[in-house]
Each structure stands twice: as C-alpha cells, then as structure tokens.
Amino acid sequence: MTEKELNIKFREYSSIDELPKEDQELAHAAIEAMKGSYAPYSHFNVGAALRLGNGLIVKGANQENNAYPSGLCAERTAMFWAGANYPDEDMVSIAIAGGKEGKIEEAPATPCGSCRQVMAQYQLKSGRPMSVIMIGSRQIWKFDRVDDILPLIFDSI
C-alpha cells in the first residue's frame, strides 16, 4: 500500500479589482447574470459568465421548475447555450456568483458536481484549460483548470 496525496493550487483574491483585467470583466458579468436567475423554490440566485475563444462573454443563470429536476444551474445554462450557438468556440473561462436571496456571501458559492462534469467535457472538447473563478464578497478563488475542482476526471476518450 502506498499512501498518496492530491494537491490543488488556486489563487485567492480579496476583491474583484485584484483580478487580471479580463477576469474582472467576467466577474462583473457573472454578478450581472444573477439578475436572470429564476429561483422561486430555493431563492438561491446564481449567475455565470463564460468567456469564449473569440472573446465573447455568454451569461447564464439558474432556472428552476415546479418539477425540480427539470431546472438547471447557471453554469450549465451558460455552457449549453454557448455549446449550441458557438460550437466551434473554445470555453476559456467561467465565473460564478450567487447567494441566497441574491446576497453574495463572504466565501464563494461553489459549482455543483454535475456542472463540474460538464465543464470537464467542454475542456476536453477544446483541448485547452478552462479556468474557473468563484466569487464571494471577501474571497475570490481562481482555479486554472477544471481538473483542479474535479480531480481524477472521468475520461473514456
């Protein structure tokens, strides 16, 4: 038996202004995207902003449904829309912001497992890393690739 350890490096910023310029723009877009959230059941409003290879920013927000599993997270709303409308563009970076009743907490809201899996698939499709930025009011976390938030990604290809 050998004991192994997985190490994950990420950067923590204390405000959006500390981020590189392009990420600042994406972070603000994610917060803006929260306005599109439709969350009558959880009251947890989430916005996502996705930067494509051509520089375009695509926004998504969680959409809930009376039949709960029919709803969708903000991240997947953005990624599926981009995948459907810009199938040839890489997904370079995604920023996520959210909170109960639209209030962003100090520590970031983090993406669910299904969204991480979908991020992994588009990263695989593009063949280049997708960075993930999670926005809190006092902590902003940036991961350089999806592997860092989904270690040991399933890959059958």
| Residue placing its CB nearer to ligand THU in the complex, 66 or 127 | 66
| Residue placing its CB nearer to ligand THU in the complex, 51 or 76 | 76
- Annotated catalytic, 75? yes
Residue 110: φ, ψ to 5°: -110, 150
Establish if 112 lies at the interface with ligand THU (CB under 6 A): yes
Residues touching ligand THU: how many (CB under 6 A)? 13
CA distance 47 to 74: 5
Which residues inside 1-60 make contact with ligand THU, applying CB under 6 A?
39, 42, 44, 46
Candidates 10, 27, 9; CA nearest to 135 is 27
* Three-class DSSP category at 96: strand
CA distance 105 to 66: 26
> Which amino acids are annotated catalytic?
75
Residues in contact with ligand THU by CB under 6 A are: 39, 42, 44, 46, 62, 64, 71, 73-75, 111-112, 115
